[in-house]
Structure 1
Amino acid sequence: MVTKDYPFYLKSTVILFGIILLVYVFAQLADILVPLAFAGFIAVLLNPLCTRLQNAKVPRLLSIILAMLIAIIIVLAVFYFLSTQMIQFGESLPMLKKKFAEISVELQNWVQNTFGVAIEKQTKMIQDLINSSQSMVGKTVGTVLGVLSVIFLLPVYVFLILFYKPLILNFLYESFSEENSKQVGEILKQTKAAIQSYIVGLLIEMLLVAILNATALIILGVKYGLLIGVIGAILNLIPYLGGIIAIALPVLMATVTKDGYSTQLGVIAAYIIIQFIDNNILVPRIVSSKVQINALMSIVVVLLGNALWGVSGMFLSIPFIAVIKIIFDHIDGLKPWGKLLGDTVPMQHKGIKWNRAKPKPAE
């Protein structure tokens, strides 16, 4: 059978249209796909524990339930710790409000004296901003309800994925020809290892950053340093934006609770050092080494994930692109794309070397 070779512009148009259609479907089905993606990653993370329990002669159903119970207990312990710290924070809230009001009056007077903007006009601008933000309350409530629904659906999804794991694996193997079964198994093995290593590395990084943040804030005497340090470590998981908010929180707390600016400068200096340690030591050795994606593609993929699925997309983008790279590396026609995503930089490019003709000597 003779296959027709279509021109390049037609192939590229079809491929581009397919990518646009796929992205559109992903965006429209975000409410369904995002919880499933998180559940898939959590299921992969809990799978080794389930396997160990099954090897210890625990029935498969019971091993899944025990693994999920252990994970839920750990999450509840973290939330309990944060809630106890938040209760202590709430007790000082009236004092913090009073101090913040005093600082606001001083700031308004400074703006009036420096820029000539009357206090009444500043108050009106703030009020207009508050009124315009009230229209977002409905969206915020909807988002909160969406998050709550995900929290309740997530354990169900995780349980079902773990329970039907043999069925899913059989489907993946049977979807390809028998001669490719070894290659499919290798892709699944590497995918599982990459996701598990990445998530574990991310949790270790978050723990170390929380310890560094809390230690620095407690030494500097920032009130609720332990709580703010842990929150900062959690926010640090959000690329770019999270780090800015993590620094802003202790600086704001120091401004409200302390006189002068020495503590604020100390907080900024400490967080710059911690960010340097995190970006140059912790992330390359603990997180980035698990998923071999270069920095350029990581930034682009995180921004694309944010545009597609918001904050959830930023979290899911790196492990998602790591899985895609593993698939590319095992398909001959897509290996160049896998190399483009990877962090291995060749010593020189494979470009065509043009040899300039040497002028003939004069006779």
Structure 2
Amino acid sequence: MPAAKEKEYPFYLKATVILFGLVLLTYIMSALTDILVPLAFAGFIAILLNPLCNRLVRLKVPRVLAILISILLALVLVVALFYFLSTQIAQFSQSFPALKQKFEALSHDVSQWIYTKFGVETEKQVGFVKKVLDNSQAMLGHTVGTVLSTLGVVFLLPVYTFMLLFYKTLILNFFFEVFKEDNTRRVAEILQETKNAIQSYIVGLLVEMVIVAVLNSTALMILGVKYAILLGVIGAILNMLPYIGGIIAIALPILMATVTKDGYSTQLGIIAAYLIIQFIDNNIVFPRVVSVKVQINALVSIVIVLLGNALWGISGMFLSVPFVAVLKIIFDRIDDLQPWGKLLGDTVPTRHMGQLWGKRYDKNEVNENLKKKN
């Protein structure tokens, strides 16, 4: 008796089900932000600390103590970074009144220039600025709320990280037991590549941040910009956000130079220096320490960062790229999802499927050629 033919559902029905599933998943992720965000960060931190923890265990250190030592070392590094930034911010706050006075004078000059050139009354300018500020209050409130929420759950990160490292074997066995025995090897490959990708991405990103911080600070110090180290480090941290962070990073020192210096030569120098640094970062530093490990194209990176911001705020912007990198690894290992993996990647084909060997073919002939090629 011939086997029953698998029922093929129409495209519009499958598309509707997939869309509904995505909407439901997005709603759940948004509703459980306070739980999922620290858990996601803890997962990445646990993967990053896992090699150190394993090394300590091989040195006959008890597993619980090895995990505690690994987390303690990570906390020391984070506290040192925050202490450095806090001391720099404290120095900045001492000169805040003078900067405020200079900024008010600069704003008055700009207002007079606009009135002279375009005939726009000062009251209208003030009203326009007030309207812009009112419209941005919601976004600012959302950002501040996200930061405060993140700070509120920071204390959960060490607990989550400890639990994930302690129950690592239990979690891995769950993934192996959930799938059939025939897929055990594929599951092992996906888990191994996922771990390597996240470790390489985070380590590469930290190395890139240090290099860019040194380059930024050195350039700003040469140009004589106040608080060069603080602005350089902040710019390096913002640079971790693909494409978007670099734009914000260059605006801060330009604003500082505009408030503290006369003329525009320093601003032009900052733009030139940051363009050179971005060129070095994008073509030398980033490809060697980050992008070789996570092959995500620029379009997907920008879109996913914006989507991450819309979903989880600042935390989502940092989590989005490694999350997509994990998805790409999974897609590349599953036959039906390989087209999606190719879409996320940065390998651009020279010709599309409908154009083979410089000629155009109909759909049936293209399918036949692809079958023969496979």
**TM-score scaled by length of structure 2:** 0.87
1:97 is matched with: 100
Contact 1:44 1:196 in 2 (8 A): yes
1:210 is matched with: 213
Contact 1:205 1:286 in 2 (8 A): yes
Cα distance, 1:119 vs. partner? 2.5
Contact 1:293 1:322 in 2 (8 A): yes
Q: For residues 214 and 140 of structure 1, do their structure 2 counterparts lie closer, same or farther at Cα, with a shift above 3 Å needed?
A: closer
Q: For residues 142 and 345 of structure 1, do their structure 2 counterparts lie closer, same or farther at Cα, with a shift above 3 Å needed?
A: closer
Alignment of 1:138-149 (within 5 A): 142-149=145-152
AA aligned opposite 1:284: P
**In structure 2, C-alpha distance between the alignment counterparts of 1:17 and 1:49, rounded to whole Å:** 42
**In structure 2, C-alpha distance between the alignment counterparts of 1:345 and 1:119, rounded to whole Å:** 52
Tell me if 1:65 matches 2:68.
yes
Contact 1:43 1:162 in 2 (8 A): yes
Per-residue CA deviations over 1:93-125 (Å, capped at 9, x if unaligned) read 122122112212211211221222223443444
Alignment of 1:159-174 (within 5 A): 159-174=162-177
Alignment of 1:84-233 (within 5 A): 84-127=87-130, 142-233=145-236
Q: For residues 342 and 144 of structure 1, do their structure 2 counterparts lie closer, same or farther at Cα, with a shift above 3 Å needed?
A: closer
**In structure 2, C-alpha distance between the alignment counterparts of 1:342 and 1:193, rounded to whole Å:** 17
Secondary structure class of the residue paired with 2:151:
helix
Contact 1:198 1:290 in 2 (8 A): yes
1:35 is matched with: 38
Contact 1:233 1:246 in 2 (8 A): yes
**In structure 1, C-alpha distance between the alignment counterparts of 2:137 and 2:31, rounded to whole Å:** 26
Structure 2 residue runs of 5 or longer lacking an equivalent are 363-374
Contact 1:238 1:311 in 2 (8 A): no
**In structure 2, C-alpha distance between the alignment counterparts of 1:225 and 1:109, rounded to whole Å:** 31
Q: For residues 135 and 306 of structure 1, do their structure 2 counterparts lie closer, same or farther at Cα, with a shift above 3 Å needed?
A: closer
Tell me if 1:285 matches 2:283.
no
1:360 is matched with: none
Per-residue CA deviations over 1:297-339 (Å, capped at 9, x if unaligned) read 3333333333332332222222111111211222222223223
**In structure 2, C-alpha distance between the alignment counterparts of 1:195 and 1:339, rounded to whole Å:** 19
1:6 is matched with: 8
Q: For residues 272 and 154 of structure 1, do their structure 2 counterparts lie closer, same or farther at Cα, with a shift above 3 Å needed?
A: same
**In structure 1, C-alpha distance between the alignment counterparts of 2:147 and 2:353, rounded to whole Å:** 52
Secondary structure class of the residue paired with 2:226:
coil
1:361 is matched with: none
Per-residue CA deviations over 1:153-177 (Å, capped at 9, x if unaligned) read 1121111111111111111111112
**TM-score scaled by length of structure 1:** 0.90
Cα distance, 1:285 vs. partner? 2.2
Per-residue CA deviations over 1:101-152 (Å, capped at 9, x if unaligned) read 2212211211221222223443444455556666778656643431221211
Structure 1 residue runs of 5 or longer lacking an equivalent are 357-363
Cα distance, 1:215 vs. partner? 0.6
Q: What's the Cα RMSD here?
A: 2.4
2:372 is matched with: none
Q: For residues 180 and 126 of structure 1, do their structure 2 counterparts lie closer, same or farther at Cα, with a shift above 3 Å needed?
A: closer
Identity of aligned residues (%): 65
**In structure 2, C-alpha distance between the alignment counterparts of 1:146 and 1:128, rounded to whole Å:** 28
Contact 1:198 1:291 in 2 (8 A): yes
Tell me if 1:334 matches 2:337.
yes
Q: For residues 330 and 61 of structure 1, do their structure 2 counterparts lie closer, same or farther at Cα, with a shift above 3 Å needed?
A: same
**In structure 2, C-alpha distance between the alignment counterparts of 1:235 and 1:141, rounded to whole Å:** 16
Contact 1:205 1:282 in 2 (8 A): yes
Q: For residues 298 and 128 of structure 1, do their structure 2 counterparts lie closer, same or farther at Cα, with a shift above 3 Å needed?
A: closer
Contact 1:112 1:119 in 2 (8 A): yes
2:248 is matched with: 245
Tell me if 1:315 matches 2:318.
yes
Which has the larger displacement, 277-286 or 61-70?
A: 277-286
Alignment of 1:343-354 (within 5 A): 343-351=346-354, 353-354=359-360
2:371 is matched with: none
2:297 is matched with: 294
**In structure 1, C-alpha distance between the alignment counterparts of 2:353 and 2:250, rounded to whole Å:** 44
Contact 1:194 1:322 in 2 (8 A): yes
